[in-house]
Structure 1
Amino acid sequence: PATAEELAARIAPAVVTITATDGWTGMAGTGIVLTSDGLVLTNHHVVSGADEITAFSAATGLSYDVAVNGYDRVHDVAVVQLGSARDLPVATLADAEAPRVGSAVTAFGNADGGGVVVATPGTIVATGRNVLVRDSADGSRHRLTGMLQSDVAIRPGDSGGPLVDAFGAVVGVNTAGAIAEDPAETPVAPEAYAVPISAAMRIVEQIRAGTGGGTVHVGPTPLLGVRVTTVREDGENRGAEVLWVSFDSPAEVAGLDIGDIITSFDGKPVASNGDLETLLMARRPGDTVEIGWRDKTGAAQTATLTVESGPPR
């Protein structure tokens, strides 16, 4: 096993700090360098919604523009590429499926967005945990499955960084912002969760192969330009009501307005916001599709629009 100083010397160069911005708001995170030419593994929530992403490598002393190659929002994994990167130190990944309970681990990350890679030691508490997590950017919650649980004191900005074993091999991808099953409960001891590296790498390889599908999206993110919510009538989902329309977006150009209810997309029925999201994510920027909706008078409307490129989400 390596000493704390040896671990830091070995791991920190293979880590990048990430800054993702959306207009006036920003998100700090961390990335794990997988290849010397700048392929990086991080969390989806680090880059979600960002229109500009940069990364800094302490190993080279350089900042890089970042492009998102693909992501899996359900499993909170994203793969990004650092522009013009070369000769970056690469992280060593663990071969085992999961570390044993009681194993010593150390989390490395951009703690509190300080721009410096910080090491935080701890111990594996459990494996295969299902947990409710909260996005520190917008407060939204969703469930992650099969996670590693540790007592490492993860902080905002550590998201996407490596959780390493005593020998410096990456066993997981840190995911900050874990909360209790009951929102009223507050963990007394540090409670952190990480995506097992084996699960994360299966998603990485799917993205590298260019084979999107299931919960994995590959390539630029399609943009419709609306925010919607599911309409329920008589206990059934009846469509996706438009809550907000972006200026000069494909949706606005097509004639959609607040209060309209989207009922079809790309020739397929839309009963919920989830249906619309799934159908949209199956398309690529530049695709032409037909969309159908009921306007505020109840009249049926259809239009053909061209999907644009937007931020990852």
Structure 2
Amino acid sequence: MRRRAGSVLLVVVTAAAGLLVSAPATVDVALPPPPPAPEAPPPPPPLTAEELAAHTLPVVVTIDASSGWTGVTGTGIVLTSDGTVLTNHHVVSGATEITAVSVATGLIHDVEVLGYDSTRDLAVLHLGAANDLPVAPIADELPPVGTRVTAFGNSQGGGVVVATPGSIVAFDRNVVVRDATDGSRHRLTGMVQTDAPIRPGDSGGPLVDEYGVVVGINTAGAVHREDATPVDSTPESYAVPITEAMAVVEQVRSGVSGGSVHVGPTPRLGASVVTSRGNGRDPGAEILWVSYGSPAYRAGLDIGDVVVTFDGQPVTSIADLEELLMRHRPGDAVAIEWVTEAGEKHSTSVVLDDGPAR
């Protein structure tokens, strides 16, 4: 007897003229219904405020960045046990000395900037002599609008990490932010808007969901929005989506600069520039001042000169010069051409210095 699903095949044997003849026949057999699929277990309850703090604080570092007499405080998120940390670019921009304190261990670490993306306000750091640090859980996708979130940060720079609850208000916001240190303004796109108030010192800290999973990087408090959304008294803060931030982290880990991401030490020309406009001047990057002993100083650049080519490429604005500069590393020899206020053209090769993240 042979069985097939849903029926039974019978083989009938008869004798005829000395031959055996088989005649198939089928009989339908009802099979039992499949067992019901097991019900999905209910989601675990959200963490309490105390559990959320106990879960998140160990993966946070507080950051102090200074340049001369000025300094900035901020926050960072531990990504690897050996000390890879994610923070905002504006926390470390221009700093010549950076240290970080692990909340988990209380130890102070010297900090190296591995790479950054100034347009997305992100920087990837490494803590010297770090090991066995707790690592932050990272979300694979962003939660929906209305999700309860909590911002953790070194609020007001006091060295104590504070938790501020709120919720996600909207995604894909474009905003203009002002740097509290120098007053400069920057445009950020694709931001997560929350009503968890973010204060100075919180920058670079984790925005986590109800289970302590990082969904964003705290970046700015109440700022100017580019859309026409009415403004009320509700706290207004913005975070870089963690999915976008991790794409920058992966590029920095690859070791390859590209687009707006710079990897490795920052090259320094040693001159402050502004886009040259009108007055019969050549388009380019006009020198406002030159740092003594810098590559620009050694090349003979002076106030009022206009850089017109760099590394063989035309320069028509400050953005052109910055982009071309960031393609290089300290120690690179680069051709530069400029025009003086008297209209004289000069060119030479400069060897770039090692400078702070910009």
| Deviation (angstroms), 1:177 | 4.0
**Residue among 224, 247, 268 paired with 1:202:** 247
Partner of 1:45: 90
Query: In the alignment, does 2:108 pair up with 1:63?
Result: yes
Output the amino acid matched with 2:191.
M
**Counterpart of 1:283 in 2: which secondary structure?**
coil
Mapped contact 2:67–2:96 kept (Cα < 8 A): yes
1:312 and 1:187, CA in 2 relative to 1: closer, same or farther beyond 3 A? farther
Which of 48, 63, 67 aligns to 1:3? It is 48
Question: Bigger CA drift: 79-88 or 137-146?
Answer: 137-146
The within-5 A match list for 1:230-309 is 230-233=275-278, 238-309=283-354
1:134 alignment counterpart: 178
Alpha-carbon distance, 1:100 to partner: 1.1
| Stretch of structure 1 that moved more, 102-111 or 138-147 | 138-147
CA distance in 2, matches of 1:176, 1:164: 16
Unaligned 5+ runs, structure 2: 1-45
For 1:38, the aligned partner's letter is G
1:194 & 1:83 partners in 2: Cα distance? 27
Q: Distance in 2 between matches of 1:186 and 1:179?
A: 11
Q: Contact (CA 8 Å) 1:175, 1:193: kept in 2 or not?
A: yes
Q: CA RMSD in A?
A: 1.6
Distance 2:55 2:164 in 1: 14
Query: In 2, distance between residues paired with 1:92 and 1:282?
Result: 33
Query: Hey, what's the Cα distance between the residues in 1 that align with 2:232 and 2:174?
Result: 16
Partner of 1:153: 197
Whether contact under 8 Å (2:221, 2:236) holds in the other structure is: no
Are 2:270 and 1:225 aligned? yes
The answer (yes or no) to whether the contact 1:151–1:190 under 8 Å persists in 2 is yes
Query: Bigger CA drift: 289-298 or 38-47?
Result: 289-298
Provide the C-alpha distance between the structure 2 equivalents of 1:14 and 1:244, rounded to a whole number of angstroms.
Answer: 42
Which whole-Å CA distance do the structure 2 matches of 1:124 and 1:235 have between them?
Answer: 51
The 8 Å contact of residues 130 and 144 in structure 1, kept in 2 or not, is answered as yes
Letter in 2 for 1:265: F
CA distance in 1, matches of 2:298, 2:176: 38
Which digits, 9 at most, give the CA deviation of each residue in 1:261-310, with x for residues without a partner? 11111111111111111110111100001111111211001121100110
Which residue of the partner structure matches residue 15 of structure 1?
A: 60
| Residues 259/234 of structure 1: CA separation in 2 closer, same or farther (3 Å cut) | closer
Contact 2:150 2:165 in 1 (8 A): yes
Contact 2:170 2:194 in 1 (8 A): yes
TM-fit CA distance, 1:236: 9.7
TM-score w.r.t. structure 1 length?
A: 0.96
Cα distance in 2 for residues equivalent to 1:187 and 1:230: 38
What's the CA shift for 1:188? 2.8
Q: Give CA deviations for 1:131-159 in whole Å, capped at 9, x if unaligned.
A: 11111221111111111100011000000
After superposing on structure 2, the runs of 4+ consecutive aligned residues of structure 1 that deviate more than 3 Å are 234-237
| Distance verdict in 2 for CA 1:187–1:261, change over 3 Å | farther
Do residues 32 (structure 1) and 82 (structure 2) align? no
* 8 Å contact from structure 2 (residues 265, 354) kept in 1: yes
Counterparts in 2 of 1:12 and 1:235: CA distance versus 1, 3 Å? farther
Select the residue among 162, 166, 190 that pairs with 2:210. 166
SS for the counterpart of 1:238 is coil
| Residues 61-101 of structure 1, C-alpha deviations (whole Å, 9 max, x = no match) | 100000000000001111000000011111111122x2211
Specify every segment of 5 or more residues in structure 1 that has no aligned partner in the other structure, as ranges: none
Percentage of pairs with the same residue? 64
Q: Which residue of 2 aligns with 1:92?
A: 137
Structure 2 residue 182 is the aligned partner of structure 1 residue 121: no
CA drift of 1:176 comes to: 2.2
Provide, for residues 177-205 of structure 1, a one-character-per-residue CA deviation record: whole Å limited to 9, x for no partner: 441238xx986321100011010000000
Letter in 1 for 2:140: D
Q: Is the 8 A contact 1:254 1:303 kept in 2?
A: yes
Q: Which has the higher contact order (CA 8 A, sep 6+)?
A: 1
Deviation readout 1:215-254 (Å, 9 max, x if unpaired): 0000000000001111123899711110011111000011
Q: Distance in 2 between matches of 1:99 and 1:135?
A: 29
Contact 2:310 2:324 in 1 (8 A): yes
Partner of 2:150: 106
Please tell me whether Structure 1 or Structure 2 has the larger radius of gyration of its CA atoms. 2
Give, as a single letter, the amino acid of the residue that structure 2 aligns with 1:309.
D
Name the CA distance, whole Å, in 2 between partners of 1:115 and 1:52. 17
CA contact (8 A) 2:252 2:263 kept: yes
Change (3 A) 1:171 1:290: same
